[in-house]
Chains A and B, each alone.
Chain A
Amino acid sequence: MTERPAPARLELLVRHDDESFEVREVGSSLAFVQSRPRRGLDGSFEVSEFASRVAGEQGFVLKNAATERFLVLSEPEKFLWEHMDGNTSLQELATAYVLRYGEFDFDIIPNLIRKLQRAQLLTLEPKSRLRQALARNRRQRAAKTVETMLMGLERIKIASRTVQPFFQRLHRWGGFVVFTRAAAVSCLALGVLGGVAAVALLRELDDIFSGFGGHALLGVLVVKLLFFGSVALHQVVHGLACVHYGRRAREFGFAFLHGFVPTFYVDVTDIFMASRRARVVTAVSGTLVHLVLGAVWFLIAAQAPVGSFTQAFAAASGIIQWQALAISLYPFCFIEVDGYHVFVDLLGVPTLKHDALSYAAALLGGRARLRWGRLEGLWLAYVALSTLSIAAFLAFNVWLVVRAIA
């Protein structure tokens, strides 16, 4: 184990009015506790509240209005943040903390300061484990080639940060209809009709896919390509929802996620500052695009002649749209998709995936003991369900492709 070095010390000579002087040793830890952190001026940040239904605690989202970065703060962290006025030293902060909570966690202040300084919690370009592994093996030509290729793809990013006026106009010129009760009822009705059609089609699945003739693989690829367009629509609806609730869509664009997953994206992180209802609607509304499109495709397939190319194409498109709907809404897949955001928002545990993976890794590495608290139970359930779900998803897709080709 590497020993932590002792705090660094500076030897300073301080002169007095007469000829004399004194030498003072100032440790970095002393300087740290005497520093007086100052938070941004009023108006340069916003604070929004949420409640965790698992841990039974209050939480807060802090937004830096200048950098548009967000931080999740616990109630004690918010207490400390409010005292960071430039006049209160960290030592005094610690005292205030003890008086308020009757105990003191030595790590909370440095951790909070690191969080506040970092202010990079929400980034759209996380570095994946794959990229870390490639970087470690850069000496190998194959790894180097893949890494260079991924870096090249990652640089391909078509985005605009001035999309707010576009979304505002779109909302004004009819986009608001999407968020009416009538639209919700229509969507639901279409979903039911599509479901009925899908069940009917299931009975004739083999005949339906025979419509691709000898070009099943090509057909599936075209279906996938067309589906890609609906991902853009999915993101547009997210942006519309954000604007509908009076918040700002910060960016819209196309990029290669992790360097190899082509995707459209919209940055609606500003919705964190709105109500929970607004956040849930924003997350769910985008996925409903797949519900509607899937239902329409299934209805088309149901009306098309049995064994025709149109029926096969429509059925495959319907399946892929509803599969996207399921993936988007399903929170247990290690991916922070819409359903995950709704799930963690409803529970009030915004860092669920991170905490669950850290806990599982610590358990597997022997660095943590198995505990049976509510949070630990949630973490273990999340990891177990996500692992099973991914295995099931992969198995289903293999089955689907095999059926289509056969």
Chain B
Amino acid sequence: MNQEKDQLFKEFEKEVWLFLDNDLPKQKMEFWNKKLIEIPELKKLINYYRSISNLYKDSEEIELSSEKFDKMIDSALSKNTFFAKIKNFIQTLLSGESELAFGKMAFASALVIAAIVISIVSNRNNPVVKMTQTINEELLDWDADFVDEQIGKVGNLLKVTKDDEYRKYYRYNQSTSSVEKNINNINDNIKALKKEINNKNL
């Protein structure tokens, strides 16, 4: 029996808030109204909430004075007046009732157009040029020198394969091992080429 009561109490704890709002289905409302009479413990929950609620209400002493309230209302109304003025200005303009308003609008438009035209026509720095100008000149020169050097080396190697005299000269400037290696490589390549040509002729 106690377990049943406990279960009922737990269930009522969940539903008490909607019960207080009379927001449960009709059958549920009738059910709980009946149970509240049968089981007094259930009322404790409602009574406790009401006591907290009453204490809380008693504690509310801070009020806004009428004077402050009136000032705040005036402020709220005046803020909206500014936007209402803008709205009225536009409406007047569209209705064509005021020539002066039209004149002001035309002048303002002309200023805007002039600003746009000036910004288009005026010289601007090319951002790409500006960017390249920031690149280090030494860096650019170094790249060119490196490429030149490599081309020179390739040229020399080609000459070595064609010219005996140049081979001697080259041998003189390079160490023996690297010269012999290079010559041997080139010889091998030439032999391979000759062989290929012979095969094709066959």
A-B complex is real: no
